[in-house]
Amino acid sequence: MLLDSVPQPAIWFTIAPMLQDLDQLTTRIGQLVQRTRQMHAERDALRARLDEAERAARTLREQCAERDAALLTLQAQLKDQDGEVATRLAESQRAEVALREQLEFQYTAHQSLESRLLARDADVEQLRQAAGSAQTRIDAVLARLPGAAPAAEGEHI
């Protein structure tokens, strides 16, 4: 009955702005729904990019781990080879020392033999001279003996 007291045209005028408000609200809700869908699509795209980035990071970590393992292997091989080189170097140094000692010994022995040879050559020469001198004296003694035949010059027994 309250409606009867309000004139009819006044109600109609108040509904129109409400309908406009509802239209604007519907448009705004549509825009919000559209923006929400865009944000969901962006979120899905970002998740896909994130998943791709995580797969790439995982692949890089695996490659890094493989390279680290290879590096450790190479370092171990290098350490082993360094040890082997050091061992061979020490062996070659010991061999060099031994060869130098042997060379020195052989050089000393050679010098000793050479000096002995020179001394013997000098002794042989002295013996030849002594033998020649003795032969000359023997010849002189034999020539002075009674009944000795005259010896031809330069004749030696």
Number of domains in the chain: 1
Please give the structure tokens belonging to residue 12.
């109609």
- Going by pLDDT thresholds of 50, 70 and 90, the confidence category of residue 120 is very high
Structural domain for 86, as ranges = 10-138
**Residue 155 belongs to a domain:** no
Which amino acid is present at 51?
D
**Residue 105 belongs to a domain:** yes
CB 151 within 8 A of CB 143: yes
Residues of the chain with pLDDT > 90, as a percent, come to 75
- Going by pLDDT thresholds of 50, 70 and 90, the confidence category of residue 148 is low
Nearest partner of 135 among 147, 124, 143, judged by Cα: 143
Q: Model confidence over 106-117: pLDDT tens digits?
A: 999 999 999 999
Please give the structure tokens belonging to residue 108.
């000393």
**Residue 63 belongs to a domain:** yes
Which amino acid is present at 87?
T
Which amino acid is present at 128?
R
Which segment of 1-10, 24-33, 43-52, 126-135 scores lowest on mean pLDDT? 1-10
- Please determine, for residue 14, whether its predicted confidence score (pLDDT) is greater than 90: no
**Residue 33 belongs to a domain:** yes
**Residue 122 belongs to a domain:** yes
Task: Pick the more confident residue, 99 or 18.
Answer: 99
**Residue 151 belongs to a domain:** no
Q: Model confidence over 26-73: pLDDT tens digits?
A: 999 999 999 999 999 999 999 999 999 999 999 999 999 999 999 999
**Residue 123 belongs to a domain:** yes
The whole-model pTM stands at 0.46
CB 156 within 8 A of CB 135: yes
- Please determine, for residue 2, whether its predicted confidence score (pLDDT) is greater than 50: no
DSSP conformational letter for 147:
T
- Model pLDDT, residue 111: 95
Backbone angles phi, psi at 149, to 5 degrees: -80, 145
Q: Which residue has the tokens 């509802």?
A: 22
C-alpha–C-alpha distance, residues 21 and 27, integer Å: 10
C-alpha–C-alpha distance, residues 76 and 143, integer Å: 98
**Residue 148 belongs to a domain:** no
Q: Which helix (H) or strand (E) holds 118?
A: helix 8-144
Average pLDDT for the chain: 88
- Model pLDDT, residue 122: 92
Nearest partner of 143 among 128, 129, 157, 127, judged by Cα: 157
